[in-house]
Chains A and B, each alone.
Chain A
């Protein structure tokens, strides 16, 4: 089974802090994704990466950055946290092999910015 692990289930930070969310997958997947999930808005893609050191902006990249130094790890960085970044953050991964493989998700990090 695919295992996507997010380092924290719950996180509380203060406005203006730099926040790091970590995600690790154990299936040697090429593609990794960061989403946020908000009531009434569904899942929105923040950033994704299709290879080490490669990144692409998603639909809502403002206020976020990412890092992918190793294939199995994809980090989401909130440069200066703000209250409107309080949300559930979900990491996902997928394989590029055989084309068109589905994404598999971690259990999410519920982040509160005070």
Chain B
């Protein structure tokens, strides 16, 4: 079993929809959680960075962490075609330098 599980999709939704992307993990030592967005032929770009449990909001994006369930989510409100990309979750423990990545979910927003 992988340490981090992420449905690779692909996920296709209409413009304006609310998108929910999720990852589950097995290592209870993980405390720092990230979401990266990767456009085609580009490197991953840091989108959200959260510590421990709770919510963090940045514009149309909300990151949610539920450590009791070992489950993290990224919500995209009012989705736009420009949000079409692969979304990668990543996480690590306190003091660790190495990140553990999910496989990435490929998202397409249809105009």
A40–B102 Cα distance when bound, in Å, is: 11
Binds B, one of A12-20, A43-51, A68-76, A78-86: A43-51
Which of B36, B43, B92, B104 touches A106 (beta carbons < 8 Å)?
A: B43
With A42-B103, A43-B101, A94-B97 as known contacts, state yes or no: A102 contacts B49, CB within 8 Å.
yes
Q: How many residues of B contact A (CB 8 A)?
A: 25
Judge whether A31 is part of the interface by a CB distance below 8 angstroms: yes
Q: Between A and B, how many residue pairs show CB distances below 8 Å? A: 51
State whether B104 touches A42 (Cβ < 8 A).
yes
Which of B42, B43, B88, B94 touches A100 (beta carbons < 8 Å)?
A: B94
Q: How many residues of A contact B (CB 8 A)?
A: 23
Which of A41, A104, A107 touches B46 (beta carbons < 8 Å)?
A: A104
Q: Could you tell me which residues of chain A, from 81 to 114, have a CB within 8 Å of some CB in chain B?
A: 90, 94, 96, 99-100, 102-108, 110
| Chain A neighbourhood of B32, CB < 8 A | 100, 102
Judge whether A58 is part of the interface by a CB distance below 8 angstroms: yes
With A40-B103, A42-B104, A100-B32 as known contacts, state yes or no: A105 contacts B43, CB within 8 Å.
yes
A106–B38 Cα distance when bound, in Å, is: 11
Residue of B whose beta carbon sits closest to that of A108: B43
Q: Could you tell me which residues of chain B, from 70 to 93, have a CB within 8 Å of some CB in chain A?
A: 88, 90, 92
The minimal Cβ–Cβ distance linking B21 to chain A, given in whole angstroms, is: 15
Residue ranges of A at the interface with B (Cβ–Cβ < 8 Å): 4, 31, 40-43, 45, 48, 50, 58, 90, 94, 96, 99-100, 102-108, 110
A103–B35 Cα distance when bound, in Å, is: 11
6 pairs across A/B with beta carbons < 8 Å?
A: A43-B88, A43-B101, A100-B31, A100-B51, A100-B95, A107-B41
| Chain B neighbourhood of A104, CB < 8 A | 46
State whether A48 touches B49 (Cβ < 8 A).
no
State whether B103 touches A103 (Cβ < 8 A).
no
The minimal Cβ–Cβ distance linking A49 to chain B, given in whole angstroms, is: 10
A-B contact sample (14 more), CB < 8 A, given A107-B41, A108-B43: A31-B97, A40-B103, A42-B88, A45-B99, A50-B97, A90-B43, A102-B49, A103-B99, A104-B46, A105-B45, A106-B43, A107-B43, A108-B41, A110-B41
